[in-house]
Chains A and B, each alone.
Chain A
Amino acid sequence: MSEKLFEALIQAVIDGEEEEAEALVRQALEQGVDPLACINEGLMKGIEEVGDLFSNGTYFLPELIQGAGAMKAALEILEPELVGKEQREVVGTVVLGTVAGDQHEIGKTLVGTMLTANGFKVIDIGVDQKADDFVAAIEESGANIVGASALLTTTLLELKRLIDSIAEAGLAEKVKVMIGGAPVTQDFAKEIGADGYADDAIAAVAVARKMVGAAA
């Protein structure tokens, strides 16, 4: 019985059918299926397949984003049910955002999607976010990685401010900081004391994996 449901869930993620995925997990919960099994046997397998299809060139970004969207929507229903039980395994938890004064959305969002598709839990706090907002999100989520994007030369300094704020909040030991965006360079990252830099979303996944000690 649950086998069939898991398969349908896998397919819903592959097809990027958000509503279908939600309906399926609701049905699963009603039938008493283990939420963690729904995640591991359904959603994760689905997103892995989406990731493979993207890597081999069959899928483009809309398929990837919609697959991740279906997974995320279903997770939102399942995760509260995990309270007190065994938690789902994530490669790492990432707080992601674009810095204060900067409205550039797309690069950051793509990084988030690639991380999600690769097993990270991503908390996307949006664009134009102050250092304090990042810090609050880290504290709330217990994230071990922060990803910050800046596309303007005038907002580059916000990245430095973020790193300082993280240190002031006593979180420097707990989170690694990864930065990116068109004007950001490896040298700049080094200069301001960021732990990592990537110039595209695929490289960002590799950097993040390294940060949490996962196999490349």
Chain B
Amino acid sequence: MATERHVIEPITTSRQLRFLEEAQLDTLREATLDILENVGVRFDSEKALVIFAEHGANVDRSSQIVKLPRDLVLKAMANVPRRFTLGARDPDLDLPLKEGVTYFTNDGCGHNVVDFETGEQRASALADVAMMARINDYLPSMSFCWTMVSAQDCGATAPLYEMDAAWKNNTKHYQSVTMMGEKLCRYGVEMATALRGSLEEVKRRPPMSLICCTIAPLVQDKDALEGAMVLAEAGIPVVIMSMPTMGTTAPATFAGALALADAEVISGTVLMQLATPGARVFHCILHAWADPRTGGYVGYPLDARTRFAPVEIAHHWGMPSLGGACGTESAEVASWQAAAEVATDPLLVSMASAEIVTGLGLRATYTLLYPEAIILDSDLYNQARYSHLDMEISPETLAVDVSAKVGAGGHFLGEKHTRKYMRDALVRSNCQELDAAGQYRDPVEVAREKVRWILENHHPEPPAPEVQKELDRILAAADKELKG
């Protein structure tokens, strides 16, 4: 049914970039421990407070502030696994976390769409989730699949329908950005179990994972956390993500924002470990800046020094990391700004050794979808990927004999060696496609054609009918319970 056996092409590199010195990482960690022990984090969840109290944290029931003694933190953190596998629907597309490999996904979760057919801007819907899951499935730049936009036509159970749409249209690992609350997440586990056949298999090759956002400054959301705990118990990986905004929800200094955000992530991770020792948790800090005049959220100022320091902070804790890339502020599909702001992201984040990275393809700071944007962003991705590929040096590639033959002056076009290698020596990007007259084409037009081609030709294998039947049954049960 599928067009061809598709592959994923993660960025693989042995080159590493360090933004911070070991001593700086230690100092940051001390600040985190200081915040956890002396300032505390507010947990708006009775369930969480009980668990913390049982394990000897300093819990104030009335303020819901939890203060975590250093030893408790360090002991719990010793249980976080550094590496594991994110399972895909198709076993060939499983993602074993390993040194030097960075897996990317699309951005999420927008709420506006520039309709592919009409060009009009409108609210996002389930059909958009499905369409983008299919495009993601085709693209080798995409190693896994994020909820790209919200299914606004599905009400309270939208996060479950979004996952169902992803599975119908995508054979890679799915990471939900929207599933929240204990009830919804129980259905999520049930769906994962239906897909895999047993909870054991879910644990072994989790087909889904979850983004769980903290609320800067220093608050943990009841629904996000309680949902995450349900999934973690089922062996499903969770990303604890903090999005501190410098000046508004965090100190206006880099170090201050990172320490605060790290305290949020670590407090959530400790809870997961106390509830389910060995729970698989990714660390994530996506810091941003507030415009000092409007408070507007700015992800890409000129001075974004140490942009990927959070990846190192994660590794310093012995945790895998989710990095953020490509969240341009530009509302245009292909403006200079949209490309320039994020152009070095894929290169830098992979050299920082992030295990997984979001998010290609949205515009206007994660809110606006143009279906063709992900094709354009994939160019930036591939530019980074190719930069890291090895150059083969051998007698054959050195071709000294060929150079000797041509000698001084003349050209190589007549050589068999050239005939063999020239075709693949030049790889063009989407921005460099030529028309019949040899002129560069409009990259957006090229991207639109690709999108159209994928939608017409790429039809990944959906779940087996009996599995889908079970998924439908679970969705109906969820609707009945939660859509009241």
A interface with B by C-beta (< 8 Å): 57, 60-62, 101, 103, 105-107, 110, 153-154, 182-183, 200-201
Q: For A200, list chain B residues within 8 Å (CB).
A: 294
Q: Is the CB of B292 within 8 A of A153?
A: no
Give Cα A154–Cα B180 distance, bound, in whole angstroms.
11
A179 to chain B, nearest CB (A): 15
Residues of B within 8 A of A57 (CB): 293
Residues of chain B within 8 A (CB-CB) of A107 are 295
Q: Select from chain A the residue with minimum beta-carbon distance to B149.
A: A153
Chain B positions 108 through 129: 1 when the CB is less than 8 Å from some CB of chain A, otherwise 0: 0001100000000001100000
Residues of chain A lying within 8 A (CB to CB) of residue B150: 153-154
Instruction: List B residues at the A interface (Cβ < 8 Å).
Output: 111-112, 123-124, 150, 152, 156, 158, 178, 215, 219, 221, 223, 245, 247-249, 290, 292-295, 367
Can you offer 23 A-B residue contacts whose CB atoms are under 8 A? Answer: A60-B292, A60-B293, A61-B290, A61-B292, A61-B294, A61-B295, A101-B223, A103-B219, A105-B215, A105-B249, A106-B245, A106-B248, A106-B295, A110-B294, A153-B111, A153-B123, A153-B124, A153-B150, A153-B152, A154-B150, A182-B111, A183-B123, A201-B294
Residue of A nearest to B252 (CB): A62
Contact (Cβ within 8 A) A110 B247: no
CA distance A156 to B23 in the complex (A): 46
User: Is the pair B249, A106 in contact by a Cβ cutoff of 8 Å?
Assistant: yes
Complex Cα–Cα for A154 and B161 (A): 14
Which A residue's beta carbon lies closest to that of B367? A182
Q: Which residues of B lie under 8 Å from residue A183 when comparing CB positions?
A: 111-112, 123, 367
- For residue B365, which residue of chain A has the nearest CB? A182
Chain A residues lying within 8 Å of B295, measured Cβ to Cβ, are: 61, 106-107, 110, 201
Excluding A57-B293, A201-B295, 9 further A-B contacts by CB distance (< 8 Å) are A60-B292, A61-B294, A101-B223, A103-B215, A106-B245, A106-B248, A106-B290, A154-B158, A154-B178
B461 to chain A, nearest CB (A): 30
Most chain B CB within a 10 A radius of its CB, from A57, A105, A153, A183: A153
In the complex, what residues of A have CB within 8 A of residue B247's CB?
Answer: 61-62
Q: How many angstroms between the C-alpha atoms of A106 and B152 in the bound complex?
A: 24
Question: Closest CB of chain B to A19's CB: distance in Å?
Answer: 21
